Amino acid sequence: MLPDTLGILNPEQTFSFCKELLTVTRTAFRLSFHNDYDLSVANVFSAVSAGIKGSTPYNGMGERAGNAPLSSVIAVLRDQLHTETVSMSLNHQG
C-alpha cells in the first residue's frame, strides 16, 4: 500500500519516491492518493511513469477531498501513458 493519506505529495515527489521504492522491491502496490490539492490523478500518472503497477480506490471515495477518481485515472493512463487497465468487478457475497 502506497498511501498519501494527507494528500500532500506532488507529482515530482511521487515519481522520486516510487522510483526509489522500486530499486528496493518489485512488489505490486495499491495506490491511495488523496485529492486535497487536486494532485491525486497527477500523482497516479507519476507513480505509473516511475514503474508502479497497482490499483486505485473505486470512484474517488475517501476522506476529506477523496481519492483519485477512477474515471480520470483510466483516461490518463490510457490516453497519456498508453497503458492498459484492468477493471475488477466488485463481487460481494453475503
- How far is it, in rounded angstroms, from Cα 94 to Cα 81? 38
Q: In the β-sheet with 29-33, what is the strand arrangement from edge to edge?
A: 2-4, 29-33, 54-55
Q: What is the pLDDT along the chain (94 residues), one digit of tens a residue?
A: 778 888 899 999 999 999 998 899 877 777 788 889 999 999 999 999 998 887 777 666 667 777 888 888 889 989 999 987 776 554 444 4
Q: Categorise residue 16: left if φ over 0, alpha if ψ from -120 to 50, beta otherwise.
A: alpha
User: And the C-alpha cell for 49?
Assistant: 511513469
Residue 87: predicted pLDDT = 62
